[in-house]
Amino acid sequence: QVQMVQSGAEVKKPGASVKVSCKASGYIFPDYGVSWLRQAPGEGLQWMGWISAYNGHTNFHPKFRDRVTLTTDTSATTAYMELRSLRSDDTAVYYCARDHDYGSGGYTDFAFWGQGTLVTVSS
């Protein structure tokens, strides 16, 4: 079965960077893209960006384009999200989620989610 397993919680200081991993299993990794989303405490969901696991093509929310890097490692079947210049309002649970369908190009709902990674930004 499809599984997305994320790395553990992180505590960072303002201005630092964080890199969250998302290990995928149960499917052919290059066939589906991976999106990243976040949810601040008590708030709703926000889509951050998407990466094709086939060719590395990305699509970003304008709010995050300058601070986020998305990568994949096909041999490790793992996707990564790095967020730079952290601020206190970046404190949130970060989720990875796999494309629902093959060939969606990022225009997808999310049937398969990671468990979430809490990133806390505090001085």
By beta-carbon proximity to other proteins, the closer residue of 4 and 86 is 4
CB atoms within 10 A of CB 61: 14
What are the angstrom distances between the C-alpha of 31 and each of 51, 55, 102? 12, 10, 6
Q: Using CA atoms, how far apart are residues 111 and 100, in angstroms rounded to an integer? A: 5
Per CB under 8 A, 95 contacts other proteins: yes
In angstroms, the CA 61 to CA 36 distance is 10
Instruction: State the minimum distance, in angstroms, from the CB of residue 114 to other proteins.
Output: 7
The single residue among 10, 77, 113, 120 that binds other proteins, judged by CB under 8 A, is: 113
Q: How far is the CB of 48 from other proteins (least distance, A)?
A: 9
Radius of gyration of the chain (CA): 14
Q: In angstroms, what is the minimal distance from the CB of 84 to other proteins? A: 19
Looking only at residues 30 through 89 of this chain, which bind other proteins when binding is defined by CB under 8 A?
44-47, 59-63
Minimum CB distance to other proteins smaller for 15 or for 102: 102
d(CA 50, CA 98) in angstroms, rounded, equals 9
Binding site for other proteins (CB under 8 A): 44-47, 59-63, 95, 100, 106-111, 113-116
